[in-house]
Amino acid sequence: MQIIQYPSLSEWAALQQRPAAAEAQQVEQRVRQIFDDVRARGDAALFDYAAELDKATLTQLRVTPEELAASISQVPAELQTAIRQAHANLWKFHASQREEEKRVETMPGVVCWRKAVPVQRVGLYIPGGSAPLFSTLLMLGVPARLAACPEIVLCTPPSPDGSVNPVILFTAQLLGIATIIKAGGAQAVAALAGGTDSVPAVDKIFGPGNRYVTAAKQLAAQRGVAIDLPAGPSEVLVIADNTANPAFVAADLLSQAEHGPDSQVVVLTDSFELLLQVKEEVDRQLLELPRQAVATLALRESRAILLRTPEEMLFFSNQYAPEHLILAVRNPEELAAGVTSAGSVFLGHYTPEAAGDYASGTNHTLPTNGYARNYSGVSLDSFLKKITFQRISAEGLHHVGPVVETMAEAEGLRAHARAVTLRLEALSAAE
């Protein structure tokens, strides 16, 4: 990790930069080619990409009921129990986000209300490969189910033998998701965006992925399909004072660094002694990780920064706007009150970010790359549309009508004013 001591304010912007994405233009060009290919050839293109990129020879794209049934026995009982408990915690927290429909009479006879309606067709993309993210399927599937989305389509890449990871299939069954497509990468996003014979087109696409998946989601958004949020490499920022446990802090940093080589971890502290201890712990724990090579690459773009006060650390963090923010300090609640930009916040010495990744109940699909300044993480609302309604009685039109007429005339929109005037005249004549 890079150690920076007491940087000046003029240096902060450079220190808050994320690792630059390599070959962005080439990635975008390749993704556009994939979109055009999937649109032109549909399922045939998906079969070819499965063979080329996943080394899988498929005879069909949809997971069969037999494959689903067989997956249960392939998942250890202890893991099944853990997944069910995480599911229950997520369900409880996200169910609390439901809002009651409220009707408001803004003037006598003028009633307005808002109704939550589920997005009708949603696509969930779950990466496979070396780390199949069944936890992300929980994070997306639970609010989709709570929102009562009528159609949920899951895309996930096949293994070379043509199978889908059994833990993903078990989790899908727990969520009641039956439409599961063996497709990964940008080609899966392209299929969800435009539809093929086997893949239903959807209205909104959710889920993480590599830079090709991220570029594909952005292209889908340009073509009229909504996405959950801008997503990039995972990141964490830890604010730690001299009460923090260096081993805990190092473990939290490495838990993000092992996600991928382009992940970023940052630690801020006002204790130089702690900073050195954390660095020693990072070096020691790194040697024990199965994904040591990946974490090592991530640490090259990561930083340990010595600042003067908790207030200064919080100011830096709010500018950085981390995906995950850990407050490993003496009074975390007090410091948390000043947080204005973060995807999810973890308070105190016994609240590891990993808990939010899996089972505490909050959602781990969060804005990265500074987007926490203006985006929220995925929640029940992400799967709902809020439609406003209003009903105006004759009495109500007498109250609100003159207001509308005056404002419309002032803007030069005569037809708007007339839409009210004609009704008022009709009421007057009837009376």
Provide the annotated active-site residues. 323-324
Angle at 179 between CA 178 and CA 180, to 5 degrees: 105
324 assigned to a ligand binding site? yes
Alpha-carbon distance 65 to 46, whole Å? Answer: 21
Q: With the CA atoms of 350, 351, 357 and 363 taken in that order, what torsion angle do they form, in degrees rounded to the nearest 10?
A: 150
222 assigned to a ligand binding site? no
187 assigned to a ligand binding site? yes
Structure tokens, 307? 């600042």
Q: Do 241 and 310 form a contact (C-beta atoms < 8 A)?
A: yes
Alpha-carbon distance 280 to 270, whole Å? Answer: 17
Helix ranges (H only) for 16-132 are 24-41, 43-53, 65-71, 77-95
411 assigned to a ligand binding site? yes
CA separation (Å) from 315 to 136, 166, 310, 328? Answer: 31, 44, 9, 16
Angle at 116 between CA 115 and CA 119, to 5 degrees: 140
Structure tokens, 229? 């949020």
> What's the N-to-C CA distance of the chain in angstroms?
80
242 assigned to a ligand binding site? no
125 assigned to a ligand binding site? yes
User: How many helices (H) does the chain have, and how many strands (E)?
Assistant: 17, 14
Q: Do 258 and 289 form a contact (C-beta atoms < 8 A)?
A: yes
Minimal CA–CA distance to 299: which of 262, 352, 346?
A: 262
29 assigned to a ligand binding site? no
256 assigned to a ligand binding site? yes
393 assigned to a ligand binding site? no
Question: What is the number of other CB atoms lying within 10 angstroms of the CB of residue 10?
Answer: 7
Binding residues: 125, 187, 210, 234, 256, 259, 324, 357, 411, 416
Binding residues for Zn(2+): 256, 259, 357, 416
Binding residues for NAD(+): 125, 187, 210
